[in-house]
């Protein structure tokens, strides 16, 4: 049996984390939870601290996100005692098939493991468009890679990626206001990242890339099969592409 650490980033997540106690104790290998919190003002610390028991230890660290999700996660990795790490967000909950997989798994050091992520939007599972190929790496050996990208960070490693054919639910969108707020925040971080890497944009890219993004997600990635929800999400991701480039252009004019 391997030992497993759960790595969690938080920022005022008490309403979501109330649902967590029903599942993580079912993972046999899990014996440590590392929480890196961005100065929450709610009961996040109280709730996560209550998870400590004879099976699980809880380490809680307060650290500013400073618009860099990878740095926050890599900091959390440095505080884990186990080599094997499962990283989740507060709005992600593994399904029973994923928990069963983790309980039966004997992980191999030269491999990392990805899982299908189902976006839950207004209580409906979204299966197409932006999420059609949403299969992020969630389980890995911490000594064989690191997180990269300031926003929408990914685990970067030379290890073989194993798709597990199991899944988790992603409750990232409570309503349209939440979705638009995230798009605004993430596009600002991404534009700043691109600017620091000396990327440039132009009029044609600002006009046509968002149009391409919508066409790609809604038609080629079958977003239309998700009805009105699919339309809203495809348009919003197109808006995200527009804001990335519009904000990058503004930065280049300052």
What does the pLDDT look like over 72-85, one tens digit per residue?
999 999 999 999 99
Predicted TM-score of the model (pTM): 0.88
Instruction: Decide if domain 4-173 falls under CATH 3.40.50.720.
Output: no
Domain boundaries, the chain: 4-173, 176-253
pLDDT attached to residue 172: 86
pLDDT attached to residue 254: 81
CA angle 202, 206, 209 (to 5 degrees): 120
pLDDT band per the 50, 70, 90 thresholds, residue 127:
confident
């Amino acid at each position: 049996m391997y030992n497993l650490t759960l790595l969690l980033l938080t920022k005022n997540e008490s309403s979501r984390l109330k649902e967590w106690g029903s599942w993580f104790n079912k993972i046999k290998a899990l014996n440590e939870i590392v929480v890196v919190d961005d100065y929450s003002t709610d009961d996040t610390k109280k709730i996560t601290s209550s998870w400590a028991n004879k099976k699980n230890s809880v380490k809680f660290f307060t650290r500013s996100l400073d618009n860099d999700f990878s740095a926050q996660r890599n900091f959390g990795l440095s505080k884990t005692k186990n080599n094997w790490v499962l990283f989740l967000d507060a709005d992600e909950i593994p399904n029973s098939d994923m928990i069963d997989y983790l309980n039966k798994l004997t992980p191999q050091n030269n491999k990392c493991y990805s899982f299908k992520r189902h976006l839950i939007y207004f209580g409906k599972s979204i299966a197409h468009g932006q999420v059609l190929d949403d299969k992020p790496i969630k389980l890995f050996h911490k000594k064989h890679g690191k997180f990269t990208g300031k926003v929408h960070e990914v685990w970067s490693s030379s290890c073989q990626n194993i798709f597990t054919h199991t899944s988790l639910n992603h409750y990232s969108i409570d309503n349209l206001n939440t979705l638009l707020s995230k798009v605004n925040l993430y596009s600002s971080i991404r534009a700043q990242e691109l600017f620091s890497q000396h990327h440039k944009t132009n009029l044609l890219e600002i006009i046509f890339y968002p149009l391409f993004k919508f066409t790609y997600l809604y038609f080629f990635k079958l977003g239309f099969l998700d009805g009105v929800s699919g339309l809203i999400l495809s348009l919003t991701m197109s808006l995200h592409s527009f804001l990335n480039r519009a904000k990058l252009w503004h930065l280049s004019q300052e």
